[in-house]
Chains A and B, each alone.
Chain A
Amino acid sequence: MKYTAQDFKSDQEVKWCPGCGDYSILAAVQRAFPEICETLGYKKEQFVFVSGIGCASRFPYYMDTYGFHGIHGRAAAIATGVKVANPSLTVWQISGDGDALAIGGNHFIHAIRRNIDINILLHNNQIYGLTKGQYSPTSKLGKVTKTSPYGTVEHPFNPGELVLGARGTFFARSIDVDMKLTAEIMLASATHDGTAVTEILQNCVIFNDGAHTAITQKAVRDDRTIILRHGEPMTFGINRDKGLVLDGLQLKVVRIGEKGITKKDILVHNAEEPNPGVHMMLVNMQQPDFPVALGVIRAVRDKTYDDNVRDQVLRVQTLSDIKTVDDLLHSGTTWEIR
């Protein structure tokens, strides 16, 4: 059966604020899913959306799939339980920056460490929206909010750095306004075996409007972002004449055609490289010195937790004489009263 985006829209009224970046993320996901089904042979009933608390976490109600709207911070734990219990399901976690990185930080890093085969969409708007405008663990240092009226005095997380630090096998980044890129990444995420984290830079139109506009505005986007694709040279810019090279142990932006630089000097993106060194530099690139990296930055093959569970169960089952509960109850030392 061929699905359309319409097949993934539930009958519930979408209640985000007008202009919220979540609308385009939802649309991108609904647009991507028919292709995911076709490519990977999934049926609609295999999808489970799990979320925590926050604006983004209302997402499951708007998808006509199985869905579980959890409690604050615990989406990764609930999603883990769903996936381990039934590995044939394709599990999608929706969390905001507060949900995944503050109250749910522990579950987030441990899901990644275990490499559970789930997809995590991290809507990063650098603010607490549903509680009306307090700073989040990704708010920039000095950010003025209701709970930091004189500016924050704490450093933010870079989600990609955290993912790599937790030995993540997949990290991608997109922006809410680029629905085509988000949809493309969704397919890559679904294809990846293991915990796939996609950070989506999302605009909160009410409490943190314009947090990402310095890079997401159409006029500057091509110059201030770089879309990485495995096997392709790392070029960017309106004229695609800028690129990244390694200068000693550092990345450096160069212009093709200047100072003898040719296209073949530009680094070629290898998302499948297990050593996270270059990936770490890519996720850390920031304006104004560097373009912000988008696309699939890391996608490394490794065994998943669910695979390991399945293999271990099969191995123990072949070796054990205990096949039923009656066998179990009679195992070990017993004695008979006649």
Chain B
Amino acid sequence: MLHKIIDVTEVTIRFSGDSGDGMQLTGTLFTDVAAVLGNDFSTFPDFPAEIRAPQDTVSGVSGFQVRIGSNDVRTPGDFCDVLVAMNPAALFANAKWAKPTATVILNADAFEEKNIKRAGFTTDDPIKELNIDDRTIIFAPITTLTKESLKDSGLDMKTIVRSKNMFALGICFFLFNRPLQPTFNYFERKFAKKPELIAANNKVLQDGFNYAENIHAIQNTYNVKPAKQTKGVYRNINGNQATAWGFIAASEKSGRPLFCGSYPITPATGILEELALRKDLGVKTLQCEDEIAGICTALGAAYAGSLAVTTTSGPGLSLKSEALGLAVMTELPLVVVDVQRSGPSTGIPTKTEQSDLSQALYGRNGECPILVMAARSPSHCFDTAFWAAKLAMEHMMPVMLLSEGFLGNGSEPWRIPKMKDYPAIVPPVVPANDTDYFPFIRDAERLSRRWALPGTPGLMHRVGGLEKNNKGSVSSDPLVHEQMIHERAAKVAKVADYIPPLKVVGAQDGDVLVVGWGGTFGHLYTAVQHMQAGKKSIGLAHFDYINPLPKNTADVFRRFKNIIVCELNNGQFAAHLRDKHQVFFYHQFNKIQGQPFMVSEIVTAVRKLL
């Protein structure tokens, strides 16, 4: 029987299995091939905090969802068209993410009575229990077939069984008419020193592909054509990598060496790891004894003239609060990256959220406003980091860059920019022996102080957490204190003159303005685009700058009858908007489940207002 090849514009695949089943790698390799074929894509790794939770339990299930398309793909998809589940627990945890028509690929070997029970099924028939249409199930004995495939490989049984994810990948490649060569190339690079593993992985992948072709259970396979993308050279990039590289770019542009003081924390660690690799570009990283040392070493480096960065996630940000206040007081350039995760406290460490916004805005003692920015997609982290560093150095202030677990781990194709297209960064470094230099005398336009670097003759001065007058002397004069508070706040507010105006996607005025910020952009954008076909006029205003807000914010809000603020928290940005622009009424749509929005949820929420 010849199968039919059907063209589809986009398709969502979800790989799931035990934490040790290699699902993240499988998903990444599938994505890499999509990239090479010119598909647009968006990924969503969804994994547990435990490195190896008890086998075959739901708590150990690791998932990786990817949407590939020949159109503009902005989200990893709400529900999947193909679900790969390597064991009953993965099926149990992920069946809810599969469309009713989804193809479900199951590792039959893992569906033993014991495992079915461990997964939490109450009957011995998971398929029936979950009410899955069995016409769309490929029940393949993946472990047995992998063992058979590699029986002459000379590899030990543990290594053989571990290759079963590549068998599953082979099945998926058949299903989507993907070539195997790019993955063969990957094995060759990855296992350059272990040729036996290259041969073994190639064989398992090919056998998985052939198996799918031979069983004739698959009547249709799918073809996703290349997306119409702007000409250029592309790469796959995740948010943490893009953040790290954005800082390196700012360091190159400004000529200030990059220093990152940090402490490992999920899901921000990737930034430190990426920067640690870049000794070749002179990046200095210091893995500190704790979060506080992370920001304090960075602040010391900032004083000494570095582009200083510290990276963390929510609980770490709590620990950095006091030192961040010191950065505000000493008016030193510093970028704090918070890759937000589910809180409070340890919360759900590997799951995404936007619930650190209030902490970012207000989480310090005293009158202590700071510049707060947010990235909207994995690749957008590059520009956000670049601009955070530029504004920090040129305006002499700490900047909070809010990323999210969803962005840090998620990836998308990125048209590689050229550094010559990026603006210069010119920090206000004081020349030697400038007799007019005083630590807190301000520039008339930006209201920022200047940067006098230790080692420079004739500029010796002291900074610190104690209140000082403009000349830099410690002062507890009540009026000096009030004046300095106003000056520091005015400096932050002044940044509004240097940031782009708020833009509206979709209808420019009318019924509903969807308002968002940060990593929900893809979902909000897709939902708003989807609703453009209707009769009602719906626009999207997505904020990259949280404090200060763009100057035209009220002008945009005024043009719509309804405003709905959508965010992955309990309404923190809505509260901020109510504080800054009190004349408007703000509806809210909130989700606090550790999961990104679904496009369908947003559409439903907006329609309720119509």
Contact = CB atoms under 8 A, between A and B. Distances in A.
Contacts of B257: 85
Interface in B269-320: 278-282, 284, 286, 288-290, 292-293, 296-306, 308
B236 interface: yes
Interface stretch (B105-113, B457-465, B545-553): B457-465
A45 B464 contact: no
Nearest to B298: A81
Interface string A61-99: 100111111110010011111111110110000000000
A158 to B, nearest CB: 21
B280 A80 contact: no
A312 interface: yes
Contacts of B292: 74, 77, 107
B304 A324 contact: no
B248 A325 contact: yes
Q: How large is the interface on B (under 10, 10 to 19, 20 to 34, 35 or more residues)?
A: 35 or more
Contacts of A328: 245, 248, 278, 281
A107 B286 CA distance: 13
* Residue from A48, A70, A325, A333 with most neighbouring chain B CB atoms (10 Å): A325
Given A45-B458, A79-B300, A68 B464 contact: yes
Interface stretch (B403-411, B412-420, B495-503): B412-420
Contacts of B560: none
A85 B231 contact: no
B437 to A, nearest CB: 12
Question: 7 closest pairs, A vs B, by CB?
Answer: A81-B300, A69-B464, A320-B280, A77-B296, A81-B297, A67-B462, A85-B301
B81 interface: no
B36 A335 contact: yes
Contact of A82 (B35, B303, B417): B303
Interface of B: 32, 35-36, 38, 226, 229-236, 245, 248-249, 252, 257, 259, 261, 278-282, 284, 286, 288-290, 292-293, 296-306, 308, 322-323, 326, 330, 415-419, 453-466, 473-474
A66 B297 contact: no
Nearest to B277: A316
Nearest to B474: A61
Interface in A38-72: 43-46, 48-50, 53, 60-61, 64-71
A309 B260 CA distance: 13
A322 B36 CA distance: 23
Nearest to B306: A85
Contacts of B457: 43, 45
A326 interface: yes
A64 B461 CA distance: 7
B297 A78 contact: yes
Contacts of B456: 45
Interface string A92-130: 000000000000001100100000000000000000000
A338 interface: yes
Interface in A292-330: 309, 312-313, 316-317, 319-320, 322-326, 328-330
* Residue from A45, A67, A336 with most neighbouring chain B CB atoms (10 Å): A45
B289 A84 contact: no
A148 interface: no
Given A66-B462, A82-B300, A336-B233, 14 more contacts: A61-B474, A66-B460, A68-B300, A71-B296, A78-B299, A81-B261, A84-B301, A85-B300, A107-B296, A317-B282, A324-B281, A328-B245, A329-B235, A337-B232
B458 A335 contact: no
Contacts of B299: 70, 78, 81
21 contacts: A45-B456, A45-B457, A48-B454, A68-B303, A69-B463, A70-B464, A71-B465, A77-B292, A77-B300, A78-B297, A78-B299, A78-B303, A80-B293, A80-B300, A85-B284, A85-B301, A107-B293, A324-B419, A330-B233, A335-B233, A337-B229
B296 A74 contact: yes
Contacts of B282: 313, 317
A313 B301 contact: no
A61 B230 CA distance: 57
Contacts of B417: 329
B587 to A, nearest CB: 40
A165 B301 CA distance: 28
Interface of A: 10, 12, 43-46, 48-50, 53, 60-61, 64-71, 74, 77-86, 88-89, 106-107, 110, 309, 312-313, 316-317, 319-320, 322-326, 328-330, 332-338
B419 A71 contact: no
Given A68-B303, A107-B289, A316 B474 contact: no
A80 B292 CA distance: 13
A336 B234 CA distance: 6
Contacts of B38: 335, 337
Given A82-B303, A88-B455, A71 B323 contact: yes
A69 B466 contact: yes
A23 B416 CA distance: 59
Given A45-B454, A60-B462, A78-B296, A337 B284 contact: no
A325 B245 contact: yes
Given A70-B296, A81-B259, A85-B306, A309 B233 contact: no
A62 B386 CA distance: 38
Contacts of B419: 324-326, 329
A42 B82 CA distance: 68
Nearest to B417: A329
Nearest to B186: A333
A44 B293 contact: no
A328 B278 CA distance: 9
B281 to A, nearest CB: 7
A83 B229 CA distance: 47
